[in-house]
């Protein structure tokens, strides 16, 4: 008991104060606490509910088209709003091929960037470069589209495509007039857009590998490349796969930039120089003009395909990344 | 004497190091290439009229995008008002109550998946939920789509920021007899204020340039918006329409709008990084 309390004669009051306080807490406060807890729980369940609601709504709205066309919907290349004949094959093909091109470029590029940031660059340079690469992720998709259509596509048609045509023109992939827009250009731009996402996680993975392990390899006389190739990458493989799938999910759904540069043609062709389309670009181009119920339903069915693919890819990516962070925070 | 690896291995190392540096350089070149082009082409379009006047038909010249600028601000605000309270509360559960509970785990997982969901899918959802029942495109649908995109971002950053607050603060407040909800709202929130603001700004930056979810929800309109029940003009869809048009004066407006959006988003992103950097120090 403090001297001040004794002096002012409040000593006798203390038990009463405590009792009053405890009484208040046990009734109204815990009641409020309980409802507050339920409120926050409700809000946090809103996120998974939203996820499920989106899936359900897509299934319900796309049912008419799926019933009408059956399996044909997924294998037909026909897309004719006038004749009300819809098939998803060219959109699905375009989505897969443009994503494949993007990932073939983005994964090595992102790993190299991460390697540079973690192992090679001095800390200050690494911070600046890391920030700049992250800013790439902040540039809105439509800006990539503007730049892609007006700047990068002409660049492709003047320099890259003629060069590819001359050197690798014997492959059907690189035949045809160098128009600039098309599958290849779309794939390359997606790669630039995915790069910051993959490299950010790869960077985490590289820097999470315990330095003892790396130093042991350096101590054996290994070079930086050998340490990366034989120690860091195998050690962080789960995380790198997770990062790659995260990028894959983003690449599959990339919309605006692709819509600008892919040429929007509903056909499958061997050449990467010709116009194509993806699920997302078809939705972006045609949705606001679709009026007939079957047309809208077919477009939503395309959306459903994209939803299912990205959901599976994201799920796999989350599982991999979680496994990595779990085992590393516990195991080491 | 320093032992050195044989030439072949040293060469391989050199090649890999150089290409790693080159890769980083490619990323930076792309960033600067895009920003410089947007600044050069967009700067000419920006003048007082761009911000204050209404759009003109192609070829007439003059005019501006006042309606789209207002529309984008309103849509972003609507989305923030919808997503921010829900996201904050959801984040509170994950950080303060959830822990390792299954509900929290599932919510975290869904938030991560939703963050990677293509934004156009969210647009399709908002279309089916709002546009179809109402029978016409409207701003509410656009606001809803943007809010759904914001929600997981706000939720996850709130959780991360609240977890950074030291437990001793919570214990001190609880020991004074304060109920949990007051501890969280009055003490933990205050301690995490800078982080929470950063998270909100990041979420705003993320959605303010989004085009795909607005294409068939808010649509676009050449008029000043009077209510959210109507098609709502906005900058991203205006950029899309104008850039795809064959008219040079519209294309220039599109570049001007691109500069506005890019500048805004990059500035917001850099600001959040600065706030976070200050905190770490």
Tens digits of pLDDT across chain B (281 residues): 456 667 888 899 999 999 999 999 999 999 999 999 999 999 988 999 999 999 988 888 788 899 999 999 999 999 999 999 999 999 999 999 987 888 899 999 999 999 999 999 999 999 999 998 998 899 999 999 999 999 999 999 999 999 999 999 999 998 998 898 999 999 999 999 988 998 899 899 989 999 999 999 999 989 988 888 999 999 999 999 999 999 999 999 999 999 999 999 999 999 988 887 766 54
Interface test with A, best of B10, B22, B27, B183 (most A CBs within 10 A): B27
The count of structural domains within chain B is 1
Q: pLDDT band at A127, cuts 50/70/90?
A: very high
Domain range for B267 is: 51-280
Q: Is B166 an 8 Å CB contact of chain A? A: no
Contact A143 B106 (CB under 8 A): no
Interface of B with A in 181-210 (CB under 8 A): 181, 184, 205, 208-210
B9 in a structural domain? no
From the CB of residue A223, how many other CB atoms can be counted at a distance below 10 Å?
20
Say how far apart CA A153 and CA A160 lie, in whole Å. 10
Position B164 in a domain: yes
Q: Is the ipTM of this complex over 0.90?
A: yes
The band of A332, judged by pLDDT with boundaries at 50, 70 and 90, is very low
- Test the B interface: residue of A19, A143, A318 with most B CBs within 10 Å: A143
Q: Is residue B231 part of a domain?
A: yes
Task: Report the distance separating Cα A202 and Cα A110, nearest Å.
Answer: 7
CATH number of the domain where residue B128 is located: 1.10.3720.10
The confidence score (pLDDT) of residue A169 equals: 86
- pLDDT-derived band at A105, boundaries 50, 70, 90: very high
How does strand A85-86 pair with strand A79-80?
antiparallel
**Residue A6 scores a pLDDT above 50:** no
Provide the β-strand partners of residue B156.
Answer: none
> Binning pLDDT at 50, 70 and 90, where does residue A10 land?
very low
Q: Report the percent of chain A where pLDDT is more than 90.
A: 67
Q: Which of B112, B125, B262 sits opposite A143 (nearest CB)?
A: B262
* B270/A135 touch (CB, cutoff 8 Å), yes or no: yes
Q: Which residues of B touch A261 (CB under 8 A)?
A: none
Chain B nearest-CA residue for A188: B30
The 3-state secondary structure of chain B, one letter per residue: CCCCCCHHHHHHHHHHHHHHHHHHHHHHHHHHHHHHHHHHHHHCCCCHHHHHCCCCCCCCCCCCCHHHHHHHHHHHHHHHHHHHHHHHHHHHHHHHHHCCCHHHHHHHHHHHHHHHCCHHHHHHHHHHHHHHHHCCCCHHHHHHHHHHHHHHHHHHHHHHHHHCCCHHHHHHHHHCCCCHHHHHHHHHHHHCHHHHHHHHHHHHHHHHCCCHHHCCCCCCCCCCCCCCCCCCCCHHHHHHHHHHCCCHHHHHHHHHHHHHHHHHHHHHHHHHHHHHHHHHC
Q: Domain limits of chain A?
A: 3-68, 70-331
Say yes or no for a CB contact (<8 Å) between B269 and A135: yes
**Cα B174 from Cα B182, distance rounded (Å):** 9
**How confident is the model over A187-225, as pLDDT tens digits?**
999 999 999 999 999 998 998 888 898 999 999 989 999
**Nearest Cα to Cα of residue A267 among A80, A90, A86:** A90
- Give, in words, the CATH class of A70-331: mainly alpha
């Amino acid at each position: 008991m403090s001297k001040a309390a004794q002096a002012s004669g409040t000593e006798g009051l203390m038990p009463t104060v405590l009792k009053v306080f405890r009484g208040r807490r046990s009734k109204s406060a815990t009641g409020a606490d309980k409802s507050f807890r339920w409120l926050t729980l409700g809000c946090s369940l809103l996120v998974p509910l939203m996820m499920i609601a989106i899936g359900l709504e897509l299934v319900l709205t796309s049912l008419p088209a799926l019933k009408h066309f059956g399996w044909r919907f997924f294998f037909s290349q026909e897309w004719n709003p006038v004749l009300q004949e819809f098939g998803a094959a060219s959109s699905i093909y375009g989505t897969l091929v443009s994503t494949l091109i993007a990932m073939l470029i983005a994964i090595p590029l992102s790993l190299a960037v991460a390697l540079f940031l973690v192992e090679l660059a001095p800390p200050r340079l690494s911070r600046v470069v890391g920030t700049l690469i992250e800013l790439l992720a902040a540039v809105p998709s439509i800006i990539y589209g503007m730049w892609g259509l007006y700047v990068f596509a002409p660049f492709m048609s003047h320099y890259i495509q003629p060069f590819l045509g001359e050197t690798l023109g014997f492959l059907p992939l690189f035949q045809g007039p160098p128009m600039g827009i098309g599958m290849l250009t779309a794939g390359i731009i997606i790669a630039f857009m995915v790069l910051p996402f993959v490299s950010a996680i790869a960077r985490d993975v590289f820097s999470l590998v315990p330095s003892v392990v790396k130093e042991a390899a350096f101590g054996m006389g290994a070079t930086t490349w050998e340490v990366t190739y034989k120690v860091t990458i195998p050690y962080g493989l789960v995380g790198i796969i997770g990062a790659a799938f995260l990028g894959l999910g983003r690449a599959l759904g990339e919309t605006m930039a692709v819509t600008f540069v892919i040429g929007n043609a509903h056909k499958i062709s061997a050449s990467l120089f010709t116009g194509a389309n993806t699920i997302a670009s078809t939705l972006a181009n045609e949705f606001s003009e679709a009026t007939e119920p079957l047309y809208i339903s077919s477009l939503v069915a395309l959306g459903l395909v994209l939803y299912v693919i990205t959901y599976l890819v994201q799920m796999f990516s989350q599982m991999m990344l979680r496994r990595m962070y779990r085992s590393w925070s516990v195991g080491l | 004497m320093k032992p050195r690896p044989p030439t072949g291995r040293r060469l391989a190392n050199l090649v890999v190091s150089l290409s790693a540096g080159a890769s980083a350089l490619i990323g930076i070149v792309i960033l600067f290439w895009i920003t410089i082009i947007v600044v050069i082409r967009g700067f000419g379009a920006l003048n007082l009229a761009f911000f204050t006047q209404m759009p003109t038909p192609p070829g007439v010249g003059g005019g501006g995008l006042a309606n789209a600028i207002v529309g984008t601000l309103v849509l972003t605000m609507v989305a923030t008002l919808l997503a921010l309270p829900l996201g904050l509360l959801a984040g509170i559960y994950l950080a303060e109550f959830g822990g390792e509970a299954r509900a929290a785990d599932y919510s975290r997982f869904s938030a991560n998946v939703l963050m990677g969901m293509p934004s156009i899918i969210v647009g399709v959802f908002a279309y089916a939920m709002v546009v179809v029942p109402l029978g016409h495109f409207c701003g509410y649908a656009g606001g809803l789509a943007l809010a759904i995109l914001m929600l997981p971002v706000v939720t996850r950053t709130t959780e991360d920021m609240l977890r950074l607050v030291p437990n001793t603060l919570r214990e001190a407040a609880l020991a004074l007899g304060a109920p949990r909800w007051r501890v969280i709202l009055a003490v933990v929130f205050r301690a995490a204020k800078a982080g929470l603001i950063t998270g909100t700004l990041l979420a705003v930056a993320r959605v303010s340039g989004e085009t795909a979810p607005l294409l068939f929800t808010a649509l676009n309109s050449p008029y000043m918006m009077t209510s959210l029940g109507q098609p709502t003009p906005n900058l991203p869809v205006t950029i899309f329409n104008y850039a795809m048009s064959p008219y040079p004066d519209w294309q220039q407006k599109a570049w001007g709008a691109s500069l506005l959006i890019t500048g805004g988003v990059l500035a917001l992103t850099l600001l959040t990084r600065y706030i976070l950097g200050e905190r770490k120090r």
